[in-house]
Amino acid sequence: MSFWEGLTEAMDDIRHTVVEEPFFGRQVTGDIALPEQEPAAQESSKWQDITQDIGTIQPPEPPAPEMGMEQ
């Protein structure tokens, strides 16, 4: 059992025992489900998939300088 599995199991137990059972008289919610861990390589490919359509943003051209000073 990993640290995170133990932590979520403890949080579930506390929530069910301390909050739900005294208030509702029974357990009313399910257990916390941990998201599946994915390798870092898959995360970077997801980021590349998201950003490939965006492209690069070109800054606008600066305004041309005026040819003289008006007084």
Cβ–Cβ < 8 Å for 33, 40: no
Q: Which pLDDT value is given to residue 47?
A: 67
Q: Which pLDDT value is given to residue 18?
A: 92
Q: Which pLDDT value is given to residue 51?
A: 66
Instruction: Give 10-residue mean pLDDT values along the chain (71 residues).
Output: 87 91 88 67 63 68 74 57
Q: Which pLDDT value is given to residue 14?
A: 92
Determine how many CB atoms are found less than 10 A away from the CB of residue 67: 5
Alpha helices of the chain — where are they, by DSSP H? 3-14, 21-24, 40-51
CA dihedral for 12, 14, 7, 9, sign (positive or negative): negative
pLDDT in tens, 39-56: 554 556 666 776 666 666
Domain positions in the chain are 1-28
Question: In whole angstroms, what separates CA 1 from the centre of its chain?
Answer: 25
